Amino acid sequence: MSIRCRPMRPKDVAGCVEIVAQHPFIGPRYAGILPELRSVWLSLLGREAFRAYVYEDLLDTPPRLVGVGCSAIICDEFLREVKTPPFFWIGAELTRRVSRGHSPLLADKQVREANCNGGVNIAVWEGAQHIRDMNRIEVSNSFFGTFIELHRGFQLREIVGHGSTDETLAGHPRAGYLFISGDGKYAETPDKAPRELIREPHLTGLTRELAPSRLGTWASTLFAYQPPRFGFSPSEQRLLLTALLGGTDEDLADELGITLSAVKKAWHSVYERVSALDPELVPPAPIEEGVAERGKMKKQRLLAYLRDHPEELRPAAS
């Protein structure tokens, strides 16, 4: 597959904002506030409550941005406002409030505490494909698959968002999401046809209480949760999250902005932490296989475990 997903970097932000600006449905939602989006996203990079990723086509040289996806962990008060008619565009309102110093995003400590005590609320800020790539199936599939992978494992209370096109909005029920109707309650069908609804503020989402009624859908998997076992530090979580997206240790060093020796030291710390609690998960391989091969086996076993246990990579109170 030629599409790669990776964390957003500061140098990506201008290109990501341009993708939003050119999008036929999403761009108009930012009327009057779009010039502030770049500085807002730059100010939020690295925050626990702001999860931002870019999508690149590796067939282009250098890799070309084909999309941007980001979400926000928001306070209860803002969630209530989002769900109270008349509805508004989440991305534009988040941009406006953050730029004016009234951010509804939780602070890092609040995210860690909420994810251990009661759960968090997630608002999908944006998911925009480049205008040249809106009809590419591999790009759409990457958006859908990586969104699920990057948001599984939270102790999630509720998730809300918008459709990016009428086709994606029509597909939300198949993914397990419900529509929020004009009375602020969840419903299985929208008040209007997707082709009409996409042009005005609307909401889809799901709650922890309603998730069991959507069993078998992708959205319901977001609400599966169990407490983490290993207690990885934030820096270890960043390493592991990036490793799950693929790449060598050299790629990790470049992505995380650290030296190759620091990457190797971080892996050693991770393996020690895991083996202390679960020696069978990363057991030493036979000596004859060599140091490089043993390290490769450890990494493969651990990453396979983390794909099934994403809670290990989510913010947690220390």
Number of compact structural domains in the chain: 2
Indicate whether 262 belongs to any domain: yes
Q: Are strands 3-7 and 120-129 parallel, antiparallel or unpaired?
A: unpaired
Do 270 and 199 share a domain, yes or no?
A: no
Indicate whether 227 belongs to any domain: no
Instruction: Quote the pLDDT of residue 232.
Output: 93
Q: Is residue 156 within 8 Å of residue 116, measured between CB atoms?
A: no
Do 301 and 196 share a domain, yes or no?
A: no
Indicate whether 110 belongs to any domain: yes
Do 9 and 100 share a domain, yes or no?
A: yes
Task: Give the relative orientation of helices 234-244 and 260-277 as an angle to the nearest 10 degrees.
Answer: 100
DSSP state of 87: P
Do 61 and 167 share a domain, yes or no?
A: yes
Instruction: Quote the pLDDT of residue 292.
Output: 56
pTM of the entire predicted model: 0.90
Q: What is the dihedral of CA 256, 258, 264, 268, to 10 degrees?
A: -70
Do 126 and 255 share a domain, yes or no?
A: no
Q: Is residue 104 within 8 Å of residue 73, measured between CB atoms?
A: no
What phi, psi does 227 have (nearest 5°)? -60, 145
Last residue of a domain, one of 199, 221, 243: 221
Do 56 and 197 share a domain, yes or no?
A: yes
What phi, psi does 6 have (nearest 5°)? -150, 165
- Tell me the residue ranges of DSSP E strands in 154-303: 156-161, 178-180, 186-187, 204-207
Beta bridge partners of 56: 4, 65
Do 32 and 173 share a domain, yes or no?
A: yes
pLDDT single digits (tens) 104-118 = 999 999 999 999 999
Q: What is the dihedral of CA 56, 62, 64, 68, to 10 degrees?
A: 50
d(CA 52, CA 19) in angstroms, rounded, equals 14
Instruction: Quote the pLDDT of residue 177.
Output: 97
Indicate whether 206 belongs to any domain: yes
d(CA 207, CA 97) in angstroms, rounded, equals 25
3-state secondary structure of 194: helix
Indicate whether 300 belongs to any domain: yes
Instruction: Quote the pLDDT of residue 183.
Output: 85
Instruction: Quote the pLDDT of residue 207.
Output: 97
Indicate whether 154 belongs to any domain: yes
Q: Is residue 242 within 8 Å of residue 225, measured between CB atoms?
A: no
Range of the domain at 291: 234-313
The CATH number of whichever domain residue 33 belongs to comes to: 3.40.630.30
Indicate whether 226 belongs to any domain: no
d(CA 72, CA 121) in angstroms, rounded, equals 8
Do 184 and 238 share a domain, yes or no?
A: no
| Cα dist from 147 to 20, 110, 193, 200, whole Å | 18, 23, 25, 24
Do 128 and 254 share a domain, yes or no?
A: no
Do 82 and 104 share a domain, yes or no?
A: yes
Alpha helices in 83-201 (DSSP H): 90-99, 108-116, 137-151, 166-175, 194-197
Nearest to 313 by CA among 155, 144, 153, 105: 153
Indicate whether 229 belongs to any domain: no
The helix (run of H) or strand (run of E) holding residue 245 is: none
What is the residue-level pLDDT of the chain in tens, covering all 318 positions?
A: 689 898 899 999 999 999 999 999 999 999 999 999 999 999 999 999 999 999 999 999 999 999 999 999 999 999 999 999 999 999 999 999 999 999 999 999 999 999 999 999 999 999 999 999 998 999 998 998 888 888 999 999 999 999 999 999 999 999 999 999 988 899 999 989 999 999 999 999 999 999 999 999 999 999 999 999 999 998 899 899 889 877 788 888 888 888 999 999 999 999 999 999 998 898 765 545 555 556 678 889 999 999 999 999 999 876
Structure tokens at 83: 């769900």
